[in-house]
Amino acid sequence: MFRLNGKRALITGGNSGIGFGIAAFLAQAGASAVIIGKNKKRNTDAVNQLRQINSACNAEEFDLSNTAKIGAFFKSLIKRYGLFDILVNCAGITLRKRADRIEIDEWNNIININLTAAFVLSSEWAKSLISVHRPGSCIMVISLMSEAARPTTAAYGASKAALKQLVRSLAVDWAQFNIRVNGIGPGYIRTKLTEPLYRDKKFSKWVISRTPLGRWGKPEDIGPLAVFLCCDEAGFITGQTIFVDGGWLASL
């Protein structure tokens, strides 16, 4: 059970953090994983590690902020690898800035990468499957900030809340084609993106005290759920966002 043998997966932001953690578990479950990242060295390092798990893994260099070029880029991937049964939208950026101090260019950049790029890539992916009547599974990586807020998270939280709603909308649109769309909402996970928060002793202590399971999460905490949502045994699950947060949202 819960195997992905013969499946091909595309993971954005797959060269580090949560994206890499998901790619590693998908590869371990038998999927050939192609990761997308804009940093060549990180891509190389990540794919070398992935190939120790599954030799059929590859990396592609691309900057998802170039949303107008996503369509052509995705078509080139299909020519190189074939169709992708699984798409994981994990690439994202953040901006820690009080709302009234955010410049419009900064706002647009967050929305463009976290939301628009995920929508454009997902649409191209779905079209490629619909055209040949092939099922698929898409995962959007959301955030606690789609449900809660803290200072300096306005732009990031808005992008992730919109992404959570996009999960529902795409799931309903594409269910007729047996294309499932679900979200994973990580809690406070220690990654390069959150390293400044983790190293802030006061903030880190707050996270641990606020989380019922009493610790920061790890990228390895996310991967198993991604495998489950992508496998055939989860074939009746779509339009859902599942939070992996150590009980953070459940606690007052």
The 10s digit of each residue's pLDDT in 77-97 is: 999 999 999 999 999 999 999
Count of C-beta atoms within a 10 Å radius of residue 58: 15
Dihedral (CA of 6, 10, 13, 15) sign: positive
Is residue 163 within 8 A of residue 171, CB to CB? The reply is: no
Per-residue confidence at 20, pLDDT binned at 50, 70, 90? very high
Among this protein's residues, is 81 annotated catalytic? no
Per-residue buried b or exposed e for 88-111, using 16+ beta carbons within 10 Å of the residue's own CB: bbbbbbbbebeeeeeeeeebeebb
Averaged pLDDT, 205-219: 96
Per-residue confidence at 157, pLDDT binned at 50, 70, 90? very high
pLDDT in tens, 135-144: 999 999 999 9
Asked whether residue 193 carries a pLDDT value surpassing 90, the answer given is no
Instruction: Considering the candidates 81, 156, 188, 198, report the single residue annotated as catalytic.
Output: 156
Q: Looking at residue 188, what is its pLDDT? A: 96
* Domain locations along the chain: 8-244
Q: Looking at residue 252, what is its pLDDT? A: 83
Q: Looking at residue 1, what is its pLDDT? A: 82
Q: Which CATH superfamily is domain 8-244 in?
A: NAD(P)-binding Rossmann-like Domain (3.40.50.720)
Determine which helix (DSSP H) or strand (DSSP E) holds 10, and give its type and residue range: strand 8-12
DSSP code per residue over 75-135? HHHHHHH---SEEEE---------GGG--HHHHHHHHIIIIIHHHHHHHHHHHHHHTTT--
CA distance 77 to 23: 17
Averaged pLDDT, 211-220: 96
Which residues are bridge partners to 86 per DSSP? 9, 137
